[in-house]
Structures are given as C-alpha cells and as structure tokens.
Amino acid sequence: MRLLEFRNRASALLVAGVCVGSLACRESHSSSTTLTDPPAPTPSSPLPSAPPSPALPPLASCGALPNYFNPGGPFTRWERFPLRLSIDSASLPFAPSELFVAYVKGIREGAVVWSLASGEAFGILSEVGSNLQNADITVRVDQPVGEALLFGTEGEVELLQLDSARIIRRARILLYPSNFPPLSPPELQAYVANIVGHEMGHAFGVLQHSTDPSDLMFGSRNQKRASYPWITVRDLNTMSEAYCR
Ligand SMILES: [Zn+2]
C-alpha cells in the first residue's frame, strides 16, 4: 500500500485522497486552489475506519482542539514507540560529497521533529543509522515514476506492512530530488528535513492533510511554517487523535 505524496511547490495546494483499494493509498495533485476532502475509504480499503483495537496502548488524550483529524477516515498507527529508522546510504549521492552530508543531516533533522515537538509522546526514534537491518522505517532517494514523475512529487510514503489491517509494522519514505528546485547543499539540507518531517507525519499515522499552510501537514510545502521543528498545535492534536484510542 502506498501513500503517494505530492508536494509540488508550484501548486497552491493539493487534493488529498487516501486509501482507495488494496494498493492505492494516495494523494492526487491539483493545480487548482480548491481543497477537496479525502474520500471515505471503500469497503475494500485495507485501513478500516473503525476505532483501533482496545489492546493498543493509548499514547495521548482524544479530543484536543484544534485539529484536522477526519474521524471518518482510515486509522493507522504504530503499536508503540520507539522505532528504528534506517537511511539507505547507497541511494544517496556518493560519500563524502557535500550532497551526501546534506541528505544525511537533513533526514536526521526531519526524522525527529515529531518527537521533539511532542515532548517524546510519540514519534520517538531509538536509532537513526545507515543501512540498519530490520528497521521500522527506511528513507531512500529515488527516481520518480508514474504519477510521481507526472505531478512533480518530492516525497512519498509507502506503508509496506500492516498488521490487523491497521497497525503499521514497516514503512518507507522515498525522496525525489529530481523534482526539487535547484538548491545549494545548505538549502538542500533544510529542504530535505522539511519534507522528511512531513512524510514522517504520514508514516506515523496522520494520513490526511491540513488545509492551513502554517501546519507541517499542509498538503503542499508549508511556506508559512513556524521555525524548526515546524509542528503546530494543530499538527500535534491531529497526531494525538491517531494515538488516543
Ligand atoms: Zn502529505
């Protein structure tokens, strides 16, 4: 199952459409300025809209406002934290180039924003390393194909393994630098960090987008974002809804 992510800077926004069918949990891009809510999951969706199993440990309280959580949308979450994140070094520009360092630093900075912003309530990573065996989440640089190429996708999340149709067991974040604007290595580091932070939000369980451009989970690059780690109260409250039950 894939959660495709379209983050074309030229677009004012995107339309979020998630989890339709067994292989398509995706977002479709629009160059218009009209937001459309994610469609409700179909009966064949692997991500049920029913509340999570009571066996899962709640990691937050429900009902914190404001949030952009869609209670009719699909639920996913990890059973618990911390998780291990692996960087696929072979996919990066060859070390020890400046670009290699920019990617590694950017991925590391982006990977921890949810843990930082939540005071380690969720999004905690016990290890971030290169080419780790049996990592929970992997980040790699790749070439976009299909819709990712067509729509200028900068990054996307694949939820590779789900348990009981809703618990995420393994995920992968793909970065597509061929769709990035021209950037110097320092600019690239910050750019990668921001994309990874957004994609980690999806990988941790926020499948929808905010319509507020100041939120990290805004559908396109959140140009109005606050300073690092970028996550707003709305972002945190929405993540809490994924982990509160
Ligand atoms: Zn997104």
* DSSP E strand boundaries for the chain: 2-3, 13-15, 24-25, 28-30, 83-87, 125-130, 137-141, 155-163, 167-175
Separation of CA 96 and ligand 1 centre (Å): 31
Separation of CA 218 and ligand 1 centre (Å): 7
- The predicted-structure confidence for 171-227, as pLDDT tens digits, reads as follows 999 999 999 999 999 999 999 999 999 999 999 999 989 999 999 999 887 667 789
Query: Which range is least confidently modeled, 36-45, 103-112, 220-229?
Result: 36-45
Average pLDDT score over residue span 152-173: 90
Separation of CA 201 and ligand 1 centre (Å): 8
Separation of CA 197 and ligand 1 centre (Å): 10
- Assigned token pair, 238: 């929405």
CATH number for the domain including 185? 3.40.390.10
Which residues constitute the domain of residue 165?
A: 2-243
- Indicate the pLDDT class of residue 34, thresholds 50, 70 and 90: very low
Amino acid at 223: Q
What is the residue-averaged pLDDT of the chain? 80
Separation of CA 215 and ligand 1 centre (Å): 11
Contact between residue 134 and residue 178 where contact means Cβ atoms under 8 Å apart: no
- Indicate the pLDDT class of residue 106, thresholds 50, 70 and 90: very high
The per-residue pLDDT for 27 is 39
Q: What percent of the chain has pLDDT over 90?
A: 60
Q: What angle do CA 182, 184, 187 make, to 5 degrees?
A: 95
Separation of CA 191 and ligand 1 centre (Å): 15
- CB-based burial of residue 174 (10 Å sphere; 0-12 exposed, 13-18 middle, 19+ buried)? buried
Q: Say what the pTM is.
A: 0.80
Nearest partner of 14 among 27, 2, 3, 4, judged by Cα: 27
- C-alpha distances (whole Å) from 1 to each of 90, 137, 147, 197, 245 are 24, 14, 15, 20, 23
Number of domains in the chain: 1
